Amino acid sequence: MQVFSPRAQVAAALVLGCVASANPLFAQDWSLPSTFGEISITGGFQPDPNWLHVLAGGEIRREFPDAVTGNRCTGHFADAPDFRLFYDPSEGGPLSIYVESRDDTVLLVNTPDTQWHCNDDSSGLNPGLSFEDPLAGQYDIWVGTYQPSNGDYPSAILSMSGEAPFAATFARAFFGEDDRIVVDPSQAPWNMIGFVDLSSASCTGVLIGPATVLTAGHCLADEGQITTLPVEFIAGFDRGDFVARSPISGYHVPANWMAGEQEGYDFAFLYLTNPIGDQVGWMDVTVLSEAEIAEALAGDGPDIMQAGYSYDQQGLMTGNLDCPFVEIGSQNRLIHQCDTLQGDSGSPLFIETDGRYRVIGIESHTNAMPREEFDQNVAMYSEYIVNEMWAMAGQGGSTGTVGSGAMVPATK
């Protein structure tokens, strides 16, 4: 008598008992060769995490319920698995599979017992799954995207680990140890920083004038399009409490960012209806002198501070009191070691001199560096920001008022 594996039995049943359907139960086909290869590993494997680059997304939009939680995940997937894992758990321990990308990805895994498991957002927009008692056998893995691919398949890092999902990622992101503290947003300088409420997202921003807020450009715009409109700025937000708040009446995004010159120009200005900066104060935007840069490189300069609304501390402002300075890099990048996560985009890196707080950078993104000990945190250095402020009297940038219709020129 021939014995079939559970996967083969299910596959045979689907073939023998198939019924025509406009929306098949399972569109993803585990019998196809995996696009980005396969690997066989045993529990306790090294290196941990074991990772590879894949291209996410596909042309098939499907919704899957997770076999354990029942949570439903919607994404755009390829038909064939992106990767195939043959796993031997004989050494014991959990198995984690997770994805890191600058795009919103969705993870789909079919396990040796033919069950479907999915996750959308586990660490920010990055998905992850953990199997405490992993089965032996074949794991077929799809890395999808939440948005339609439209022929554009974003890069992603697919990792497999014997630790909790993103454990190594957090160690890299925090440069070995999380130095963030919860700050008091009712007190200066933290009350000048606030929560930027967007129509479909959120970021951090900082007052740089009575009615002007500085934040990250990608919070509003991507690939030359305004993707979400700013709604309100809430200074000193703290779990529903706040110091001051104002609707946002307009915005300015640099023309270079809108034209796709992303490096160096990931910043934007928001215009407030009410001048709440007169109430709580604001920070200056200045460049560092050559002497200050030399002092920072030597570790003798003033403390570099940062604060924002990290996604893992919902409603709380967390900050760094003394971030290590790395360098002023090419294309207006300030490379630093402030402990930041998603949600900190648009948060200020600032110093205090002569009783004033000076913004020297705006948090932009993290470059994943899986072959290095730590990732690379990148802020937009203040030089281009200052230049843009001088040029705003001209025609540079995408400027608009906030409304329900199309963008119109601002009168600010």
Place of tokens 């585990």: 30
Q: Out of 16-20, 172-176, 203-207, 264-268, pick the least confident.
A: 16-20
Higher local confidence (pLDDT), 50 or 21: 50
pTM higher than the cut 0.75: no
CA distance 54 to 61: 19
Q: Is the pLDDT of residue 141 over 80?
A: yes
Contacts of 203 (CB under 8 A, 6+ apart): 196, 215, 216, 219, 343, 345, 346
Tell me what pLDDT residue 19 has. Answer: 29
CA distance 154 to 152: 6
Band (pLDDT 50/70/90 cuts) for residue 372 is: confident
Q: Is the pLDDT of residue 411 over 70?
A: no
Q: Is the pLDDT of residue 297 over 60?
A: yes
In the DSSP assignment, the letter for residue 105 is E
Mean pLDDT over 256-276 rounds to: 92
Q: Are 181 and 122 in contact (CB under 8 A)?
A: no
Higher local confidence (pLDDT), 361 or 120: 361
Mean pLDDT over 58-75 rounds to: 89
Band (pLDDT 50/70/90 cuts) for residue 392 is: confident
Q: For residue 271, give Cα distances in angstroms to 202, 213, 276, 297, 346.
A: 16, 7, 11, 35, 15
Higher local confidence (pLDDT), 396 or 148: 148
Looking at every residue in the chain, the average pLDDT score rounds to: 86
Tell me what pLDDT residue 350 has. Answer: 98
Amino acid at 55: L
- Give me the long-range contacts of 260-265 (CB less than 8 A, separation at least 24): 260/223, 260/224, 262/218, 263/330, 263/331, 263/332, 263/333, 264/331, 264/332, 264/333, 264/380, 264/381, 264/384, 265/217, 265/332, 265/380, 265/384, 265/388
Q: Is the pLDDT of residue 403 over 60?
A: no
Q: Are 248 and 402 in contact (CB under 8 A)?
A: yes
Higher local confidence (pLDDT), 168 or 61: 61
Tell me what pLDDT residue 27 has. Answer: 60
Q: Is the pLDDT of residue 332 over 70?
A: yes
Mean pLDDT over 43-47 rounds to: 87
Cis status of the peptide bond prior to 49, with omega within 30 of 0? yes
Closest CA to 316 of 238, 245, 242: 238
Tell me what pLDDT residue 371 has. Answer: 76
Structure tokens at 130: 């953990």
> What is the percent of the chain with per-residue pLDDT over 90, rounded to a whole number?
63
Band (pLDDT 50/70/90 cuts) for residue 262 is: low
Domains of the chain: 27-173 (2.60.120.380), 181-401 (2.40.10.10)
Q: Are 148 and 61 in contact (CB under 8 A)?
A: yes
Q: ∠211-215-218 over CA atoms, to 5°?
A: 140
Mean pLDDT over 98-104 rounds to: 89
Residues found in the chain = 412
Band (pLDDT 50/70/90 cuts) for residue 122 is: confident
CB atoms within 10 A of CB 378: 22
CA distance 25 to 21: 9
CA distance 63 to 80: 16
Helix H or strand E encompassing 230? strand 230-235
Percent helix, strand and coil across the chain, each to the nearest 5: 15, 40, 50
For 5-15, how does the pLDDT look when each residue is reduced to its tens digit (9 = 90+)? 333 333 333 33
Contacts of 376 (CB under 8 A, 6+ apart): 335, 366, 367, 369
Cα 178 vs. chain centroid, distance in angstroms? Answer: 18
